[in-house]
Structure 1
Amino acid sequence: MQGRWGAEDEAGARNLIDAEATLRGISSVRTGQVISLAIEIEAGKQGPVPPMRSPVQHFMTRDGGDYAAGLPEAYGFGFADDVIMLATHGTTHIDALSHVCRGGLIYNGFSSNTITSRGAKRCGIDKLAPIVTRGIFVDLASPETDPQGEAIRRDQLEAAIARTGVAPAPGDALLVRTGWLSAWRRGQGDVMRCTGLHHDCAELILEAGFALVAADNVAVEVLPSHDPSTAVPLHLKLTWENGVYLAELFDLEELAQSGQNAFQLVIAPLRIKGGVGSPITPIAIL
Structure 2
Amino acid sequence: MPVNFSGRLLGLLMLGTASLSASFSPALADTAAKPAVAASGQEVGISPWGPEDEIGRLNLITPASRAAILSRIEGSKVYDLATDYYLGMPSWQDAGDPHYQFWMTHTPRGTEIDDPMGVGKDMNTTRSYTGTAFSMYSHTGTHIDALNHFGIHGKIWNGFKADEHLGDRGWNRTGIEKFPPLIARGVMIDVAAAKGVDMLPDQYRITPQDLKDALAKQKTTLQEGDIVLIRTGRMKLFNDPKAYMAAPPGMGLDAARYLVEEGGAMIVGADNLSFETFPSEVADDYVPLHTYLLAQQGAPIIELIALDELSKDKVYEFAFIGGPLKIRGGDAAPLRPVAIPVR
TM-score (norm 2): 0.77
Give me the identity figure in percent.
Answer: 30
Q: Identify the residue that residue 170 of structure 1 maps to in structure 2.
A: 224
Q: Distance in 1 between matches of 2:274 and 2:319?
A: 23
Deviations 1:38-93 (A, max 9, x none): 111013x141434333211112211122245474326x734322111121101110
Which whole-Å deviations, capped at 9, do the CAs of 1:229-260 have from their partners, x for residues lacking one? Answer: 21111111221111011010111111211211
User: 1:8: which partner in 2?
Assistant: 52
Conserved? CA contact 1:39–1:251, under 8 Å: yes
Tell me if the contact between 1:192 and 1:223 (Cα under 8 Å) persists in the aligned partners.
no
Secondary structure in 2 matching 1:189? helix
Give the secondary-structure state (helix, strand or coil) at the position aligned to 1:20: helix
The list of structure 1 runs, each at least 4 consecutive aligned residues, that deviate by more than 6 angstroms after superposition, is none
**Of 150, 156, 161, which residue of structure 2 is paired with 1:111?**
161
Q: Name the counterpart of 2:173.
A: 122
- Conserved in 2, the CA contact under 8 Å of 1:212 and 1:246? yes
Query: Structure 2, unaligned stretches of length 5 or more?
Result: 1-44, 116-120
8 Å CA contact retained: 2:253, 2:288: yes
Q: What is aligned with 1:216?
A: 271
Question: Within 5 Å, which residues of 2 pair with 1:1-286?
Answer: 1-43=45-87, 45-52=88-95, 53-67=97-111, 69=113, 71=115, 72=121, 73=123, 77-113=127-163, 114-141=165-192, 142-143=196-197, 146-183=200-237, 185=239, 189=243, 191=245, 193-206=247-260, 207-286=262-341
C-alpha displacement of 1:144: 7.7
Which consecutive residues of structure 1, in runs of 5 or more, have no partner in the other structure?
none
Q: Deviations over 1:146-191 (max 9, x none)?
A: 4311100011112222333233222110011112222454577352
Q: Any idea what the Cα deviations from partners look like across 1:84-113, whole Å, max 9, x if unmatched?
A: 112110111000000001111101111123
2:200/2:249 contact within 8 Å kept: yes
Q: Secondary structure at the match of 2:127?
A: coil
Letter in structure 1 aligned against 2:160? F
Tell me if the contact between 1:50 and 1:192 (Cα under 8 Å) persists in the aligned partners.
no
State the match for 2:15 in structure 1.
none
Letter in 1 for 2:190: D
In structure 1, C-alpha distance between the alignment counterparts of 2:175 and 2:283, rounded to whole Å: 29
Following the alignment from structure 2 to structure 1, what is the Cα–Cα distance between the partners of residues 247 and 114?
51
Q: Judging changes above 3 Å, is the alpha-carbon distance between structure 1 residues 112 and 192 closer, same or farther for their aligned structure 2 residues?
A: farther
Decide whether the 8 Å contact of 1:148 with 1:189 is kept in 2: no
- CA distance in structure 2 between the partners assigned to 1:235 and 1:285 by the alignment: 28
For 1:146 and 1:159, locate their aligned partners in 2 and report how far apart those are by CA, in whole Å.
15
Q: 1:41 to 1:188 in 2, by over 3 A?
A: closer
Task: Deviation per CA, 1:127-159: give whole Å up to 9, x if none.
Answer: 111101111011112438543111000111122
Which structure's residues are more often helix, by fraction? Answer: 2
- 1:24 and 1:261 map into 2 onto residues whose CA distance is 17
* Separation in structure 2 between the aligned mates of residue 103 and residue 123 of structure 1, nearest angstrom: 17
Give aligned pairs, total: 285
Instruction: Tell me how large the CA RMSD over aligned residues is.
Output: 2.2
Report the TM-score, using the length of structure 1 for normalisation: 0.91
2: CA distance between counterparts of 1:182 and 1:241?
32
Matched residues in 2 for 1:215 and 1:28: separation?
A: 24
